[in-house]
Amino acid sequence: MKVVVNGIPQALPDGATVADAVRAVTSVARGVAVAVNGEVVPRAGWPGAALRDGDQVEVLTAAQGG
């Protein structure tokens, strides 16, 4: 299965979840939020949220900003 995580195509095994996509880009879970196809996925739902081919995943965290 191919998904796009933070703008970069990633190959993930079939059945991969949001939790897997997060682990693919960061080892830190604290201070991280996720949107799939523009919809917020609450942290508690990451392990149960199955991804589908072509999903656009945004994995976000704190950055400097005014």
Partner 1 sequence: MRIAGVELRSRLILGTGGASNLDILERAIKESGSELVTVSLRRVDTAATMSGGLLDMLDRCGVRVLPNTAGCYTAREAVKVAHLAREAFETPWVKLEVIGDERTLLPDGVELLRAAEELVADGFQVLPYTTDDPILARRLVDAGCAGVMPAGSPIGSGLGVSNPHHLQLIRQSVDLPVILDAGIGTASDAALAMELGCDAVMVASAITRAADPVRMAAAIRHAIEAGWLAARAGRIPRRFHALASTPDEGRPHL
Q: Which residues bind partner 1 (CB under 8 A)?
A: 6-7, 25-26, 28, 30-35, 38, 40, 42-43, 58-66
Which of residues 9 and 14 has its CB atom nearest to partner 1 in the complex? 9
Q: Please tell me the distance from the alpha carbon of residue 3 to that of residue 53, in angstroms, as a whole number.
A: 6
Contact 4, 13 (CB under 8 A): no
Q: How far is the CB of 34 from partner 1 (least distance, A)?
A: 8
Q: How far is the CB of 54 from partner 1 (least distance, A)?
A: 19
